[in-house]
Structure 1
């Protein structure tokens, strides 16, 4: 297989690489590009979890602290929170080795989420949502009346 095929017809390159591996035709495999793709796949999974965690934190912060929009948007934010949590959980089930990296991802995602929502409204100085709260599918902000916001 030509290494240029990787750049000219990616899908065909993938199919031929799969066939070569299945047939144990290792001498024909474009190893450099295959290794590059595998490394990229791993980075992509990590980036996807980081992005989902950031979006989750943004929505939790909105639900927790954006009083002016809560009446109109709380149900939407809550639905998004459920969705983001489910997507993160699915990715962690598919790639459990990412679980030990969650603290480091949270440390990157939380300041981004804070900065993002701070463009929409003022957060109180004591605003905080922990990683455990963010990932706990049963944790939602509850108001004084006991209603889920």
Structure 2
């Protein structure tokens, strides 16, 4: 069952899907949109990790000469950390998914920062693997500077 309700009133659609699951009413399930929604956290988590790690790399490489820029990147790290930690509070079972996504997110973050460095005239050799542990990535107030 594919529904326009998914696009028109997501909250109502969600409530109906939860009820259908609880009642084991397979005919009432919107299979396509359910599958898409269940897959979404993986991509969202990957995005948040890239944002945190790339911001940590900005600080790690000390490319920011002005205090304002350092403050900006720390604020950016804190914001994205808050979101990731919120996911773990609500869904602690995502911990392993986040840990396994770090190497891929690190490569994406390095790619972003290398492009950023070139525009600012900086050169920096990043480590082959993420220099930040899972705990450091999520630890409130931790920065590599």
Shift of 1:28: 6.1
SS of residue matched to 1:139: coil
| Post-superposition CA distance 1:18-66 (Å, at most 9, x none) | 19947x694862x3xx222222122111211110011000100001214
Unaligned runs of 5+ in 2: 118-122
Using the size of structure 2 for normalisation, the TM-score is: 0.75
RMSD over aligned Cα atoms? 3.2
Compared CA separation, residues 20 and 50, structure 1 to 2 (3 A):
closer
SS of residue matched to 1:67: coil
Compared CA separation, residues 28 and 79, structure 1 to 2 (3 A):
same
Equivalenced residues, count: 136
Give 2:7's aligned residue.
Answer: 10
Shift of 1:68: 4.6
Using the size of structure 1 for normalisation, the TM-score is: 0.73
CA contact (8 A) 1:61 1:129 kept: no
Largest Rg, 1 or 2: 1
